[in-house]
Structure 1
Amino acid sequence: MNGLSVAELDRFAGQAARSTILIGGMIAVLTAVGLTVAHWSEVVYPAAAAIGVLLVAASVLLAYDGTAPHRPTFTQERFGLVVATAVAAAFAEYLSTIGAKVYVANDYGPVVVGIVILLLAPYCSWLSLVSGGLVSAFVLAFLLLGTAERAGEFAVLPVASAVTILLAMTAGAAAYSWGAVSEILEAQREVNRAMLDHDAEVRSGVSPHSRRSPVSVLARQVLPFLARVMTAERITVADADRARELADALRHALRSGFRSTWLDELGGDLEEAHGVAVQVVDREGAATRLSTEQRVMVAGFLTWLSESDRSSALRVVLSRSDAPATQSRDRGVGVRARDGRVGRLVITSFAGEGELDRAAIERFIPLAPVVRFEVVAVDVGENVRVEFHYDLD
């Protein structure tokens, strides 16, 4: 768990937290500007003061860009770069007042670095956050000690007070990361246990949710037949033929049942709930290799298409593609092309009697990179066709 972050385990939560980077980033920049203006009389080198504020803004922009949907997970290298830029801003502030500093308490370095670390809590492991906070506190402590000595202050108390702010924010970020990751992992374990139990029940035909499966349908025919045969005085030729037919059908149903996936079951649920015919073409069982986030997105999209008579029928095709996945930039998704074998998912909705909100589909498309889907084609006409590519790893 030391190397895991909230965003790695729940990419939707990671993207939802991006707005806090902008809000917190503005607070950090305004703090730097406000404290610089407050001790402007101590500023010897205005250019260094301006560079310090710009470096604070740069650290925020680096953090925001590093959490973009089209980028891979937020790396430790990116975290180190963001924190180093914030520390560089504190160093620029130190240079701007060198030789003229009166008080240490009005330095913005510890506060700004602490805010940056706090903003990155959803994207870094608690160990990375603690390491970054301790190294930053060590560097800033030297800068503040030098400032305090030149200002003639008693060095320990003001420096300890300033560094404590940074360490407190680091502790808060690490506590959030550790607690949130622990909760997500525990929830995933519970979901996995439930899915395994449910899958075993569905495959055996005993699940109350598998009444539509061929095994369950046959079971409702086999059990009455067995009860009748067991109470009969003798077995007729017709009974023997019927038993042979049921045995052959049961073997075929079992083979089909073991090849079925959660997507087949979802299609059956949608067909029963909304009366929409759902055809799933997945000869290799690729649906089982989709991640939890990808399954949620596919299920949500299919459910929305099947509601309110938006579709008369749905077709879902999963296959492999040898062609590199490409994405045109005009959709603003910014997905990179990759070479090699990739998974291919095509969802086709045939027009129903209800009204289809095409703007809603356009709003749905940018969510695809969040769950590592690459949008290859979107055709929103009388029928809707959306094609995704994804990693098979």
Structure 2
Amino acid sequence: MALAVFGSVLWAILVSVFSRDVGGSPTMSAMTVLLVAAAAGVVAFSTSPFRAPFSRPAAVSFVVLLGLATVTSVAAQWGPDTNAQNDFMALVTAVGVLVLGPYRPWREVLLAGIAFAVVNGVVWGIAAAAFPTSVPVAVVVLLASAPTVVLTTAATVYAATFVRLAERVQIRAGSYSVERADRDGIARSVQQDRVTILTRDVAPFFEELRTRESIGDADRERARQISDGIRRVMVADADRTWLEQAVLADGGERTVVTDPDGAIRGMDVDQRTVVRTFLRAALAAPAVDPAGVRLLVEPHAEDPSRTCFDVQMSVADSDVGIHRSFDAYLAVLRVTFPDLDVAVRPSSLALRFSYDQH
């Protein structure tokens, strides 16, 4: 999408320099190009995965910049409109609505499209009224607004459909991640611990008893030790949080999880899903050693109602490689936890964010 806006910048430059049908104002032409370039810069900066989400202020800035560019483009060629190909801003604003479609709610996309259509219709209508041609003013207004109206309809439908599909996926993913995945993770962990005890202690002990003619006090003492070991494993399973279960289930047996108060249980369904997805990807990454991952959950220093989650991770990769591997996950984390703080250095990745206790 950013490429489409940058293409609009190039188009604006070419039309302003090589396809002017009136002398107009070179200053206004330069201003138009600069405004379109600024709008492209807003999109490029705000849609970067490392800076997601594309916020409402950024979207408003984008709309205002393109709206002003529309006004200055008409002012730059103030006079009889003899070449419709010079009216490039009608299509640029239409493309601008498409750019907003994947990033903002459908209502905001619709409002942006209406704003662009109104601005286009008004400024070209004023120019057509000031310099009459064989084309009626009403037709000029319609032609100026039509591209934006058409693409606004498409972008609005896309945004609304995407939101509905995302909500369905979120519901399913949340249900699986917190209920079924936690249950499956606990079951696998418990099964693994039970199998370890059976193969290491219970089975050999029963095999010895089977070959003996009588059972003595030493055998009874060993049986009590084995039963105590089983109870300790069961207690440990019961005390584990969903985070510890998730780390174990994803191959993080050597990962250090520090959460003495079990505060991680305060995360809601969406937050758990996002954190678990990131940790699963991190622990499965070839450049990440699970033994070099440290997870710390502690009370917020300034707000007792919030909890801080700290991730320290050793990554055998450059900072560019770390961005390439984790930027998509960091974007989702930033949407879920707006105060996310990320520090990327060669061979290390550090995250810190906070959440309310639910």
Instruction: Give the alignment's TM-score, normalised by structure 2.
Output: 0.73
Counterpart in 2 of 1:319?
297
- Does 1:303 pair with 2:284? yes
Counterpart in 1 of 2:124?
144
State how far apart, in whole Å, the 2-side matches of 1:186 and 1:171 are.
Answer: 23
Q: Does the CA-based 8 Å contact 1:320-1:343 persist in structure 2?
A: yes
- Does 1:164 pair with 2:146? yes
Counterpart in 2 of 1:374?
341
Deviation at 1:287, TM superposition (A): 5.1
- Does 1:343 pair with 2:315? no
Alignment CA distance shift 1:360-1:74 (3 Å): closer
1:321-353 per-residue CA deviation (whole Å, 9 max, x = no partner) reads 6579xxxxxxxxxxxxxxx9632223358xxxx
Counterpart in 1 of 2:191?
211
State how far apart, in whole Å, the 1-side matches of 2:278 and 2:34 are.
Answer: 39
State how far apart, in whole Å, the 2-side matches of 1:345 and 1:314 are.
Answer: 11
1:111-159 per-residue CA deviation (whole Å, 9 max, x = no partner) reads 1111122112222111000011112211211111122231322122233
Deviation at 1:65, TM superposition (A): 2.3
Question: Counterparts in 2 of 1:78-227, with a 5 A limit?
Answer: 78-104=58-84, 106-149=86-129, 150-152=131-133, 153-195=135-177, 196-200=179-183, 205=187, 210-212=190-192
State how far apart, in whole Å, the 1-side matches of 2:290 and 2:53 are.
Answer: 39
1:201-221 per-residue CA deviation (whole Å, 9 max, x = no partner) reads 555x4x7x752256x888999
Task: Give the secondary structure class of the aligned counterpart of 2:257.
Answer: strand
- Which amino acid in the other structure matches residue 302 of structure 1? L
State how far apart, in whole Å, the 2-side matches of 1:114 and 1:284 are.
Answer: 53
Task: Give the secondary structure class of the aligned counterpart of 1:270.
Answer: coil
- Does 1:283 pair with 2:260? yes
Alignment CA distance shift 1:265-1:136 (3 Å): closer
Deviation at 1:268, TM superposition (A): 4.5
- Which amino acid in the other structure matches residue 292 of structure 1? T
Instruction: Give the alignment's TM-score, normalised by structure 1.
Output: 0.68
Task: Give the secondary structure class of the aligned counterpart of 1:41.
Answer: coil
After superposition, the CA RMSD in angstroms is 4.0
Counterpart in 1 of 2:16?
36
- Does 1:260 pair with 2:226? no
State how far apart, in whole Å, the 1-side matches of 2:264 and 2:79 are.
Answer: 66
Deviation at 1:165, TM superposition (A): 0.6
Q: Does the CA-based 8 Å contact 2:8-2:92 persist in structure 1?
A: yes
Task: Give the secondary structure class of the aligned counterpart of 1:124.
Answer: coil
Gapped regions of structure 1 (runs ≥ 5)? 1-19, 223-236, 325-339, 350-355
Counterpart in 2 of 1:73?
53
1:172-220 per-residue CA deviation (whole Å, 9 max, x = no partner) reads 22222122222222112112222313434555x4x7x752256x88899
- Which amino acid in the other structure matches residue 280 of structure 1? V
1:78-111 per-residue CA deviation (whole Å, 9 max, x = no partner) reads 2122111111111111112223433556311211
Identity rate, percent: 18
- Which amino acid in the other structure matches residue 106 of structure 2? W
Task: Give the secondary structure class of the aligned counterpart of 2:285.
Answer: helix
Question: Counterparts in 2 of 1:49-60, with a 5 A limit?
Answer: 49-60=29-40
Alignment CA distance shift 1:141-1:67 (3 Å): same
- Which amino acid in the other structure matches residue 16 of structure 2? T
Q: Does the CA-based 8 Å contact 1:126-1:178 persist in structure 2?
A: yes
Task: Give the secondary structure class of the aligned counterpart of 1:212.
Answer: helix
Q: Does the CA-based 8 Å contact 2:124-2:141 persist in structure 1?
A: yes
How many correspondences in the alignment? 325
Q: Does the CA-based 8 Å contact 1:213-1:257 persist in structure 2?
A: no
Q: Does the CA-based 8 Å contact 2:322-2:344 persist in structure 1?
A: no
- Which amino acid in the other structure matches residue 175 of structure 1? V
Deviation at 1:247, TM superposition (A): 9.4
Counterpart in 2 of 1:7?
none
1:49-70 per-residue CA deviation (whole Å, 9 max, x = no partner) reads 2211111111111222233455
Range with greater deviation from structure 2 (247-256 or 151-160): 247-256
Q: Does the CA-based 8 Å contact 1:69-1:369 persist in structure 2?
A: yes
Alignment CA distance shift 1:292-1:90 (3 Å): same
1:20-41 per-residue CA deviation (whole Å, 9 max, x = no partner) reads 31x1122211222333345413
